[in-house]
């Protein structure tokens, strides 16, 4: 484990203007949040959210099921929009959009509210009601936020499907949640090319009996097939939709969205988030971690298809009344300095991105950065995987000009909001550590028996107290919810990560210790890729492992055995990569395909991925092989390696 000792304190200048500018204040609030959680959260919920009806209880906790703010009612979209219209924010930019081709649009809070009202009316006119599900498969354009907020307004549960996912993935998700509606676009721009979203939807829909309507946004103007009665143009529906919509008040625990994420089985998990608690978590972290002010232009580069896009492009910052920059395309289109030119052009002050992107910028070379001033920046953030100290220092020096604090934020799809992070005006940072817990979060590093490990020893990371933005269950699968997160040590939330705490109590997250890989900050379940591979007619068995990768964090290495009569070839390798791309999406395409005569197994028939991982990483196997059933397989695998 790396030992990093450089400490970076927030400057007096940053502290003086910060929403929370002293360690003592952080400490006092933190202690209150964990010692008197009901009082703390009750107070915060009143301060940060606009309620239609006050809550009567703060938390009803019957592990692992939480109900926050019961008795209370609010509307999430009203919190993100309407409440700002009575203030000076009404005509402030809510979204500054830049498309990949360079087109720009600025949408004020008043305009955004109006569009959301219109689309809420569209949803109702299509027959959608509270509790129904709608799938959103859109590029990074303002209409993605409009669709999400309109669903929230009506009480329709949205499930956003990342635009990089395939038709197969759309089918699985839509069927799992029985969506009635799909909202998509003709296409989106990515590296100068059109991503044909509508075509993917068309491929999925013959296999999704619950879908009654498809709303299609015109973005790229490429030809699409419109199926009569089923498919309607966004602009046609909006043209006749009323511009006001009276938001209903929804109970605190009203489901807000389902977001599918990879786990340790072949089937993605539908993480369910609900209204008030989720909104409180994302609003408070946006305020304290990103230190949002009315003068900021805030840019989170995550796609709306991931939790980061939900919490820190849409719900959190808009609830705070911030100006959010949204960019549609790739960081290297047309040149590898696109992000830096966007920062200068729009005066971005807060920039939140992923370590894998930072490492790509490092590789592309400092000259692309040095062409731009970046003087507007005042705060930087990182999310998605551990940030290696080298990337941290580059980010600090080249992008932040040693002036901007870096918030390395640890959290997950399941946690809804940031859990462990520096508060930029209060907590000194050290490269590679996500530092200290946010309010109400109690992280513990435990051993197999549930005992806290000594300082600087590795263990499994648990959260031992419930928090408002926690997932409530897995859609249609409460058993899996209990088993997945709450059974490792009964009653404690296990996040799947390994970590250690240093002598200052700073947390160092090492990464996943389950069968989940983190490739370029995206979560990929090994079992999902394996089941995609064995669905190919030539594959008998498959095992997927991660190998450390300088750029992506982890690269996907797959070992396959072929059915008899099938012949290994480079062409087949390419076919298998393409097949995984078709089954899941390009992000899951293996970096390396290796054919093997057999896979190492235990006597009970379990594939020993640990050995394959070692082989993929070091080219050798030195680890414990005593439970291996047939040692000759290792000899054969090693021979293939050479
Ligand atoms: C997993 C969650 C929620 C953010 C986007 C990814 C890893 C995330 C950090 C960080 C170390 C991190 C963990 C976590 N991770 N942020 N700052 N330091 N690791 O969301 O797809 O739900 O993945 O990403 O392994 O469990 P996700």
Map out the domains of the chain as residue ranges: 520-641
Whose C-alpha lies nearest to ligand 1, atom 10? 410
Report which ligand 1 atom has the smallest distance to the Cα of 408.
17
Neighbours of 70 (CB within 10 A): 15
> Residue range 210-235: average pLDDT?
98
Only one residue has tokens 């038709």, namely 167
How far is ligand 1, taken at its centre, from the CA of residue 607, in Å? 26
CA–CA gap between residue 636 and residue 639 (Å, rounded) = 5
How far is ligand 1, taken at its centre, from the CA of residue 509, in Å? 9
Question: Which parts of 56-201 are beta strand (E)?
Answer: 59-62, 65-68, 73-74, 93-98, 104-108, 133-137, 157-160, 181-185, 188-190, 193-195
How far is ligand 1, taken at its centre, from the CA of residue 192, in Å? 29
Query: Spelled out in words, what is the top-level CATH class assigned to the domain 520-641?
Result: alpha beta
Cis? peptide before 630, omega within 30° of 0? no
Whose C-alpha lies nearest to ligand 1, atom 20? 412
Q: Who lines ligand 1 at CB under 6 A? A: 261, 307-308, 383-386, 408-413, 434, 495-497, 509, 511-512, 518, 523
Report which ligand 1 atom has the smallest distance to the Cα of 523.
21
Q: How many angstroms from the chain centroid is the CA of residue 189?
A: 21
Predicted confidence band of residue 3 (pLDDT cuts 50, 70, 90): low
Neighbours of 591 (CB within 10 A): 16
Report which ligand 1 atom has the smallest distance to the Cα of 413.
22
Report which ligand 1 atom has the smallest distance to the Cα of 495.
26
Neighbours of 223 (CB within 10 A): 9
The CA distances from residue 470 to 67, 126, 321, 416, 480, in Å, are: 10, 31, 23, 6, 16
Predicted confidence band of residue 608 (pLDDT cuts 50, 70, 90): confident
Return the best residue to mutate from 518, 528, 587 for the ligand 1 pocket (most ligand atoms within 8 A of CB). 518
Report which ligand 1 atom has the smallest distance to the Cα of 512.
25
Residue 564 exposed, middle or buried by CB count within 10 Å (0-12, 13-18, 19+): exposed
Residues 116-161 have pLDDT tens digits of 999 999 999 999 999 999 999 999 999 999 999 999 999 999 999 9
How far is ligand 1, taken at its centre, from the CA of residue 517, in Å? 11
Look over the chain and give the mean of its residue pLDDT values, rounded to a whole number. 95
How far is ligand 1, taken at its centre, from the CA of residue 354, in Å? 10
Report which ligand 1 atom has the smallest distance to the Cα of 420.
17
How far is ligand 1, taken at its centre, from the CA of residue 412, in Å? 5
How far is ligand 1, taken at its centre, from the CA of residue 176, in Å? 24
Residue 550 exposed, middle or buried by CB count within 10 Å (0-12, 13-18, 19+): exposed
* Residue 459: closest CA among 471, 447, 467, 477: 447
The CA distances from residue 514 to 98, 558, 624, in Å, are: 38, 17, 19
CA–CA gap between residue 219 and residue 216 (Å, rounded) = 9
CA–CA gap between residue 567 and residue 249 (Å, rounded) = 62
Q: What's the pTM?
A: 0.94
Whose C-alpha lies nearest to ligand 1, atom 1? 412
Question: Which parts of 165-228 are beta strand (E)?
Answer: 181-185, 188-190, 193-195, 213-217
The secondary structure of 406-454 as a DSSP string is EEE-B--TTT-S--B---TTTS-B-TT--BSBPTT--EEEE-TTSPBPP
How far is ligand 1, taken at its centre, from the CA of residue 564, in Å? 40
How far is ligand 1, taken at its centre, from the CA of residue 409, in Å? 8
Whose C-alpha lies nearest to ligand 1, atom 2? 412
| 413 neighbors 419 (Cβ within 8 angstroms) | no
Residues 290-314 have pLDDT tens digits of 999 999 999 999 999 999 999 999 9
Question: Which parts of 29-167 are beta strand (E)?
Answer: 59-62, 65-68, 73-74, 93-98, 104-108, 133-137, 157-160
**What dihedral angle (degrees, nearest 10) is formed by the CA atoms of 535, 536, 538, 539?**
-50
Residues 477-525 have pLDDT tens digits of 999 999 999 999 999 999 999 999 999 999 999 988 888 999 998 999 9
CA–CA gap between residue 142 and residue 109 (Å, rounded) = 12
Note the pLDDT of residue 1: 46
């Amino acid at each position: 484990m790396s030992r990093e000792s450089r400490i970076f304190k927030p400057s007096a200048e940053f502290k003086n203007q910060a929403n929370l500018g002293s360690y003592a204040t952080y400490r006092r609030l933190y202690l209150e949040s964990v010692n008197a959680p009901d009082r703390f959260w009750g107070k915060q919920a009143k301060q940060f959210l606009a309620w239609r009806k006050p809550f009567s209880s703060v938390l009803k906790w019957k592990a692992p099921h939480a109900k926050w703010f019961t008795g209370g009612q609010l509307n999430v979209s009203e919190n993100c929009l309407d409440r700002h219209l009575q203030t000076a924010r009404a005509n402030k930019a809510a979204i500054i959009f830049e498309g990949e081709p360079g087109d720009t649009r600025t949408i004020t809070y008043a305009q955004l509210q109006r569009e959301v009202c219109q689309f809420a009316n569209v949803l109702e006119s299509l027959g959608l009601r509270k509790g129904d599900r709608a799938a959103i498969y859109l590029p990074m354009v303002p209409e993605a936020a409009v669709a999400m907020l309109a669903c929230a307004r009506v009480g329709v549960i949205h499930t956003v499907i990342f635009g990089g996912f395939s038709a197969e993935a759309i089918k699985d998700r839509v069927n799992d949640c029985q969506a009635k509606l799909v909202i998509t676009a003709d296409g989106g721009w990515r590296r100068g090319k059109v991503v044909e979203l509508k075509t993917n939807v068309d491929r999925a829909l013959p296999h999704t009996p619950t879908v009654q309507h498809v709303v299609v946004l015109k973005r790229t103007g490429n030809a699409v097939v419109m199926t009569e009665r089923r498919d309607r143009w966004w602009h046609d529906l909006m043209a006749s939709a009323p511009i006001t919509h009276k938001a209903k008040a929804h109970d605190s625990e009203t489901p807000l969205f389902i977001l599918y994420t990879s786990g340790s089985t072949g089937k993605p998990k539908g993480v369910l988030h609900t209204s008030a608690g989720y909104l409180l978590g994302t609003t408070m972290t946006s305020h304290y971690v990103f230190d949002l002010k009315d003068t900021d232009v805030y840019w989170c580069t995550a796609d709306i298809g991931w939790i980061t896009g939900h919490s820190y492009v849409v719900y959190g910052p808009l609830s705070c009344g911030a100006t959010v920059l949204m960019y549609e395309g790739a960081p290297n289109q047309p040149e590898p300095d696109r992000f830096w030119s966007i920062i200068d052009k729009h005066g971005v002050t807060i920039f939140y991105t992923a370590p894998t992107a930072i490492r790509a910028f490092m590789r592309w070379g400092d000259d692309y950065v040095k062409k731009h001033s970046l003087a507007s920046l005042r705060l930087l953030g990182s999310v998605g995987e551990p940030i290696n100290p080298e990337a941290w220092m580059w980010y600090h020096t080249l992008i932040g000009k040693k002036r901007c604090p870096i918030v390395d934020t640890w959290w997950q799809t399941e946690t809804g909001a940031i859990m462990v992070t520096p508060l930029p005006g209060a907590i000194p940072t050290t490269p590679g550590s996500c530092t200290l817990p946010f309010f109400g979060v109690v992280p513990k590093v435990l051993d197999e028996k549930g005992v806290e490990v000594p300082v600087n020893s590795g263990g499994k990371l648990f959260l031992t107290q419930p928090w408002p933005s926690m997932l409530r269950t897995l859609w249609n699968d409460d058993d899996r919810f209990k088993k997945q997160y709450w059974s490792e040590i009964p009653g404690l939330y296990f996040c799947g990560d390994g970590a250690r705490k240093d002598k200052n109590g700073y947390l160092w997250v090492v990464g996943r210790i389950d069968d989940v890989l983190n490739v370029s900050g995206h979560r990929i379940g090994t079992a999902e890729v394996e089941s995609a591979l064995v669905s190919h007619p030539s594959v008998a068995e498959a095992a997927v492992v991660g190998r450390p990768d300088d750029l992506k964090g982890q690269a996907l290495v797959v070992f396959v055995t072929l059915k008899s009569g099938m012949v290994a070839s480079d062409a087949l390798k390419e076919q298998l990569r393409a097949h995984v791309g078709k089954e899941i999406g390009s992000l899951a395409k293996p970096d390396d395909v290796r054919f093997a005569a057999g896979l190492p197994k235990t006597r009970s028939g379990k594939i020993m991925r640990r050995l394959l991982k070692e082989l993929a990483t070091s080219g050798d196997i030195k680890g414990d092989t005593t439970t291996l059933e047939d040692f000759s397989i290792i000899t054969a695998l090693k021979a293939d390696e050479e």
